Structure 1
């Protein structure tokens, strides 16, 4: 009877170990997929931003100058 329990325990251990490995593999695959999607979206956002700045260069320069002026004004008041 003791041998039967030992064999059952080994079987459950192997099964749990196999399911655990499969779960880790699925999690890794999902993380890789999400990482790939994130990289694609980031690249797309970068290209869109770059295109916008190239098409509206003077607006970008104006915003940067205004922000620099505001920062300089508030820092200079100290």
Structure 2
């Protein structure tokens, strides 16, 4: 609530924590519903529906890694 929280401030604490990567996984062959793609894209905007579908269709781990070689991971 902006009225109750107007005295709160955000402090940069980035120097206290090492960067980390979070992965989203799902079982091969899983039917992903629209809301699942929406969640993935909300969670990680660089993972578009098209990119996730390409990764899902990949036949090997190497193909998946090659697909994501050009993707820059965001840092927050």
- Give the TM-score normalised by structure 1: 0.19
Larger Rg belongs to: 1
**Greater relative contact order, per chain length (Cα 8 Å cut-off, separation 6+):** 2
Going by fraction, where is helix more abundant, 1 or 2?
Answer: 1
TM-score normalised over the length of structure 2 = 0.19
